[in-house]
Structure 1
Amino acid sequence: MALSLSARLPSCSSSVFEKAHKLTTQPPILPFPSNLAACGCTLLPASMGVARRRRQVVGAVEEQHNQTSVLAPKQSPSYSSSKLVLVIGASGGVGQLVVASLLSRNIKTRLLLRDPSKAISLFGLQDENTLEVREGDTRNQNDLDPTIFDGVTHIICCTGTTAFPSKRWDGDNTPERVDWEGIRNLVLALPPTLERLVLVSSIGVTKYNVLPWRAGRLTDGPYTSYDLNTLLKATAGKRRAVILSQGDKLVGEVSRLVVAEACIQALDLECTKRKIYEINSVEGDGPGSDPEKWRELFESAETN
């Protein structure tokens, strides 16, 4: 499976739809807010069985018992506590793993959920100083109150729905409403103080007139309705090696754990700022949660 990571927000006033139309089937509409000029957006269009047409970024891989796991106590460094990461789409397959990995790193996290009650069933009772939960729906611009972004330094967006008609479309949960209008509303609401935005999308969406256009498949999970302890034990089996590329060329599969770790690594790596990457995971040893190995992977993708 492939995953595309883009860390780019234009340094000049541009159109959010001019930048996003390659990732969706919708035309440009609104201007890109100028308050994003200094913000680095990392976009990780992941290869997913459900063609998620939106900007997003990738996730959490940790080595434990010779497998990739969300939590790896033996190699977890002392992570900075200065971040406040807002995770949107935290109840989804990738989002759950992103949150679990952030909590395992002692990074303060805030969730934006349509149904806040899901937070307890997914992540258990957490100290409010560690995990905050806000109610909101990116499909409704009025839900994106400025207070949601108070103190937020980084955002990881993992929202999405199925690309083709399914029961998941019930309740106005279509790609146009979720992956197009929702992302537009989010971008327009972002504060100028934001340091990095990571958005996860699907590979292949820029190749709407080139075969093969169908996005790849996400493996592992989703772990819906599992508690935090279960998420922290999730493993990617043998698919720990990571392949990164640019230009929407990859075709294949990607582990949700790998996507989650890529998202978290992209928060800090300067080389991923204002970039788009695709990502696959294959059998073999991967970078785990080693920032230097991830940096080498991202930089190598740019030179290939």
Structure 2
Amino acid sequence: MALALASLPMLDISKSGGKISRRSARGPFLSRHPRSSFSDDYFSWPLPGVSIVGSAGRGAVVRSAVTEEQTPSSMRDDEKMPYDSPPPSKDVLVVGASGGVGQLVVASLLKRNIKSRLLVRDPEKAALLFGRQDEDNFKICKGDTRNPLDMDPVMFEGVTHVICCTGTTAFPSRRWDGDNSPEKVDWEGVRNLVLALPQKIQRLVLVSSVGVTKFNEMPWSIMNLFGVLKFKKMGEDFVRSSGLPFTIIRAGRLTDGPYTSYDLNTLLKATAGERRAVIIGQGDKLVGEVSRLVVAEACIQALDIEFTQNQIYEINSVKKGDGPGSDCEKWKELFRSVK
């Protein structure tokens, strides 16, 4: 698949550090403005034909979507994470929020009472999945990263942290319908998002894949027959050159899901099975599998661990041991162990 590298006429690569200047790269954008309630860009309530339950019903249930694998019952009460007090002034944008990993990221943020907004192509599906939440702390924004005109910077005002977990299949499938190829999603989509993000965000976490630096080597070259690893690496490189503080999580082969029925009950039953213990590496040396729950938790933990800034990690999960759950100190130890 030919690469249209000439499609970057707006990029200004500075001489200092090779970082991307984003001053003139954004181009025109839609004249939308954020609302205090769900309308236009933010989804309107109530849904036609859908009964939305308030905070005492469905909205309260979704906070339990992160299962016991993330706070194992074997942990003592004093070891479990306190979720009642959200970090101050944090507003997390989840891109690809209705996807396999994105659903679990959103559920974890809701459990922690962290202010969040979702960037999705289909707000109705996201609204059905997560139910009605407090509009001051939860917004659903319509946007397609593949379309730069959808990436209205106004929509991102106030965002402090970003977790991008967009993706598509490695081989042609129905998910490629509508120009949803790896080139459009993993390369152009990531590029368009980065160019629109506020320069003052505190962290961008990007979910990528193991093997991206080895796409010409066996067995990775088989996985890369249609360019998925190559385009993920291009997305990574763009993030690294953007000047934004980043953490890249390269996941092994994803297990447990994806949960694409858009049914909250299905999400609530999500488990990491026996794959609770976590292995983290650097240098693109890990080969294996990882639970989507583990990837989602790693993304959230990386937001606040200072020394993970501007680092790239590979992550697998294995059957031996209970793993870190949602214990931030244990995650710090894991990330620090590969420094």
If the length of structure 1 is used for normalisation, what is the TM-score?
Answer: 0.76
Q: Is the 8 A contact 1:121 1:225 kept in 2?
A: no
Matched, 1:75 2:80: yes
Between the two proteins, the alignment pairs up a number of residues equal to: 251
Q: Is the 8 A contact 1:84 1:108 kept in 2?
A: yes
Q: Please state if 1:170 is matched with 2:207.
A: no
| Letter of the structure 1 residue corresponding to residue 338 of structure 2 | A
Tell me by how many angstroms 1:234 deviates.
Answer: 2.4
State whether residues 297 and 326 of structure 2, in contact with CA within 8 Å, keep that contact through their aligned partners in structure 1.
yes
The answer as to whether partners of 1:255 and 1:281 remain within 8 angstroms in 2 is yes
- Answer whether contact 2:127 2:140 (CA < 8 A) is retained: no
Partner AA of 2:131 in structure 1: G
**2:328 maps to 1:281:** no
The gaps in structure 1 that reach 5 residues or longer are 1-24, 37-59
Asked if 1 retains the 8 angstrom alpha-carbon contact of 2:95 and 2:165, the reply is yes
Give CA deviations for 1:14-68 in whole Å, capped at 9, x if unaligned.
xxxxxxxxxxx886954453469xxxxxxxxxxxxxxxxxxxxxxx76124459x
CA RMSD after TM alignment: 2.4
Change (3 A) 1:109 1:73: farther
- Residue equivalent to 1:63: 71
Indicate conservation of the 8 Å contact 1:33/1:188, yes or no: no
> 2 CA distance for matches of 1:271 and 1:285?
24
Deviations 1:226-252 (A, max 9, x none): 444653452212111000000000000
1:263 aligns to what SS in structure 2? helix
Alignment-mate amino acid for residue 296 of structure 1: E
Distance 2:209 2:127 in 1: 29
Counterpart of 1:247, as a letter, is G
* Correspondence for 2:103: 96
CA distance in 2, matches of 1:73, 1:130: 27
TM alignment of 1:135-146, pairs within 5 A: 135-146=142-153
The one-letter code sitting in structure 1 at the alignment partner of 2:276 is R
The answer (yes or no) to whether the contact 1:90–1:99 under 8 Å persists in 2 is: yes
User: RCO higher in 1 or 2 (8 Å CA, sep ≥ 6)?
Assistant: 1
Cα separation, 2, equivalents of 1:82 and 1:148: 17
Equivalence for 1:156: 163
Counterpart of 1:209 in structure 2: which amino acid? N
Counterpart position of 2:127: 120
Q: 1:246 aligns with which of 282, 292, 300?
A: 282
Q: How does 1:122-271 map to 2 (within 5 A)?
A: 122-213=129-220, 214=223, 216-228=252-264, 230-271=266-307
5+ residue gaps, structure 2, are 14-18, 24-65, 224-228, 230-251
Q: Is the 8 A contact 1:100 1:228 kept in 2?
A: no
Task: Give, as a single letter, the amino acid of the residue that structure 2 aligns with 1:236.
Answer: A
Match in the other structure for 1:300: 337
* Aligned residues of 2:102 and 2:165 also touching (Cα < 8 A): yes
Cα pair 2:72 2:322 within 8 Å, conserved = no
- Please report the TM-score for the alignment, with normalisation by the length of structure 2: 0.69
Question: Cα deviations across residues 109-165 of structure 1 (Å, max 9, x unaligned)?
Answer: 101111111122211111211210111101111111111111100000010111211
* Distance of 1:228 and 1:152 partners within structure 2: 26
Question: In structure 2, what is the Cα distance between the partners aligned to 1:267 and 1:34?
Answer: 24
Say if 2:40 is the partner of 1:33: no
SS at match of 1:119: helix
Structure 2 residue aligned with 1:290:
327
Where has structure 1 moved over 6 Å in runs of 4 or more? none
Structure 1: how far apart are the matches of 2:4 and 2:311?
21
What one-letter code is carried by the residue in structure 2 that aligns with 1:269? I
Where 2:212 maps in the other structure, the secondary structure is coil
Identify the range of structure 1 (128-137 vs 216-225) with the bigger mean alpha-carbon deviation.
216-225
How big is each residue's C-alpha offset from its partner over 1:164-190, in whole Å with a ceiling of 9 and x where there is no partner?
111111101011111110011111112
